[in-house]
């Protein structure tokens, strides 16, 4: 591939970053909704005796349904992304979802945000910046 073509491809891909981010944010929203739903359902053991009770609790939880709907829409958005952008460009940008869910988990669910995790998020941010930067 000619270097000018590479630069052109990266610039063309950059136009789709908002669409990619919509897919990533929908996926992150799905994770957060599912987490909240399972917080409401609570801890359970995988046993034959409680399958019906757990299934009913999960199947009737609005947060679980919201999370599943977010996943479904995110798949549609991701199919649009993949029809327009190289997978080697788009897929690494899914790591933005980790940043969003880690920060939201800390903010909404009081999950641990250790210095190690924070440093990992910084490394991810740097990697995302490198991927989206034209040559």
Tens of pLDDT, residue by residue, the chain (135 residues): 444 454 555 568 889 999 999 999 999 999 999 999 999 999 988 889 889 999 999 999 999 999 999 999 999 999 999 999 999 889 888 988 999 999 999 999 999 999 999 999 999 889 888 887 776
State how far the alpha carbon of 92 is from the alpha carbons of 17, 49, 124, in Å. 12, 42, 10
Q: Which of 85, 106, 113 is nearest to 21 (CA)?
A: 85
Contacts of 7 (CB under 8 A, 6+ apart): 134, 135
**For residues 12 and 16, what is the distance between their CA atoms, to the nearest angstrom?**
8
pTM score: 0.82
What phi-psi label fits residue 81: left (phi over 0), alpha (psi between -120 and 50 degrees) or beta? alpha
Structure token digits, residue 37: 């739903």
């Amino acid at each position: 591939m000619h270097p000018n073509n590479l630069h052109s491809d990266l610039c063309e891909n950059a136009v789709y970053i908002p669409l990619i981010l919509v897919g990533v944010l929908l996926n992150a929203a799905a994770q957060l909704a599912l987490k909240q739903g399972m917080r409401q359902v609570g801890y359970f053991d995988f046993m034959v005796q409680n399958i019906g009770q757990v299934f009913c609790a999960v199947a009737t939880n609005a947060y679980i349904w919201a999370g599943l709907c977010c996943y479904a829409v995110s798949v549609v958005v991701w199919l649009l992304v993949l029809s327009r952008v190289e997978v080697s460009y788009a897929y690494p940008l899914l790591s933005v979802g980790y940043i969003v869910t880690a920060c939201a988990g800390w903010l909404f669910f009081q999950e641990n945000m250790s210095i190690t995790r924070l440093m990992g998020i910084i490394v991810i941010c740097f990697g995302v910046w490198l991927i989206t930067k034209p040559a």
